[in-house]
Structure 1
Amino acid sequence: MIKVNAIGDACPIPVVKTKNAIRELQGGGTVETLVDNEIAVQNLTKMANQKGYDVHSEKVADNEFKVTMTVNAEAAQIAANNAVSTIEEESCPITPLNKKNTVVVIRSNQMGNGEEELGKALLKGFIYALSQQDTLPSTILFYNSGAYITCEDSASIEDLKSLEAQGVEILTCGTCLNFYGITDKLQVGEVTNMYVIAEKMTQADLIVQP
């Protein structure tokens, strides 16, 4: 059995930690994940059902839940093979990361409308989740207040650097950096212009705007 402590972790970290633990199983086995909220339990249960794992959850204390997944040998091998494929892609950045030219567009320093604190937390979670995908985008574009996300004091710098290291192109609007007075604070990727942004978007097979 592999035990995963995801108490205090924001979405989607409990799911990512659990997936990584499943990849470590040799010949099948059990993964037990501790979380502190029912939403995390639901997310883990949904993931297990999608993958065909046996799953059971229980409340063990106030704000503490245990989700147990039993993975058979075949499913464990599939998870391990997916991990190997991901490692090979990360080791050979010259190889295309996916067949589609997917472009992610970040046009604000928060995700969705509503409370600013929540919006910023959601965007941070989205970028982290993006960095954990088996299939990565070719380019991420940042403009308007989204330019803050690639600059000093951003909570997503390490995740963006991880994406860049795996071959994802990180581009931030130069006009936006200049407007907000943060040109000298850029921490990851390169400065670009609106012509390139328009070109990347019009040539994309798929545009994702969180």
Structure 2
Amino acid sequence: MKKDLAALLQNNPEFDLSICKILNDKQLESLENNIVLFLHGKTLDMGTKDLSILLLKELLCSLSQQELLPKTIILSQKTVLCNQRESEFLHFFRLLEQKNIEILTCKTSAEYYKINKNIPIGHFASMEEIIEKLFHASKIIQW
């Protein structure tokens, strides 16, 4: 049957076969706006520490003022250090959390940096949860 259908489509250019799932407006909007901001900290290792911190603050401040926001922010590698009680970034993460942005802190990175006891914003995420968020995102922005 498959071969017959393939031959029919190949030999008759006037035929076109499309298979698609019909989504309602809410599902479509959810897919289109499922943006994940993946902060992995490699930028924090480039250049001077002061510049790296300034750039990350600027990014988070600017992000908190945008209309189009990510649904999720994932902190991985060195950026997990930004989610501590004494962090200078905490104010920005609180603003973003108040805008219903989910803040995930990579559990493996937190254990590596020995901050796996308590985080003030969001929750610890396993690699499985992080992968799921990335695979279901309509857009991933890395920084």
Query: TM-score by structure 1 length?
Result: 0.51
Aligned CA RMSD, in angstroms, stands at 2.0
How far does residue 110 in structure 1 lie from its aligned partner after superposition? 4.7
Map 1:81-100 onto structure 2 (within 5 A).
99-100=32-33
How far does residue 153 in structure 1 lie from its aligned partner after superposition? 2.0
Aligned to 1:161: 94
Alpha carbons of 1:157 and 1:196: their partners in 2 closer, same or farther (altered >3 Å)?
Answer: same
SS in structure 2 of the partner of residue 104 of structure 1: strand
Query: TM-score by structure 2 length?
Result: 0.73
How far apart, in 2, do the equivalents of 1:138 and 1:98 lie?
Answer: 11
Map 1:21-32 onto structure 2 (within 5 A).
none
Alignment counterpart, residue 51 of structure 2, candidates 113, 118, 123: 118
How far does residue 209 in structure 1 lie from its aligned partner after superposition? 1.2
| Structure with higher strand content | 1
SS in structure 2 of the partner of residue 184 of structure 1: coil
How far does residue 113 in structure 1 lie from its aligned partner after superposition? 2.0
How far does residue 99 in structure 1 lie from its aligned partner after superposition? 4.1
- How many residues matched? 115
Runs of 4 or more consecutive aligned structure 1 residues displaced over 3 Å after TM superposition: 96-99, 109-112
Unaligned 5+ segments in structure 2 are: 1-28
Aligned to 1:188: 121
How far does residue 181 in structure 1 lie from its aligned partner after superposition? 0.9
How far apart, in 1, do the equivalents of 2:116 and 2:129 lie?
Answer: 18
Q: Which has the higher contact order (CA 8 A, sep 6+)?
A: 2
How far apart, in 2, do the equivalents of 1:154 and 1:196 lie?
Answer: 25
Paired residues of 2:44 and 2:78 also in contact (CA < 8 A): no
Aligned to 1:137: 70
Q: Which has the larger radius of gyration?
A: 2
Alignment counterpart, residue 34 of structure 2, candidates 96, 101, 108: 101
Alpha carbons of 1:130 and 1:111: their partners in 2 closer, same or farther (altered >3 Å)?
Answer: farther
Q: Percent identity?
A: 30
Counterpart code for 2:77? N
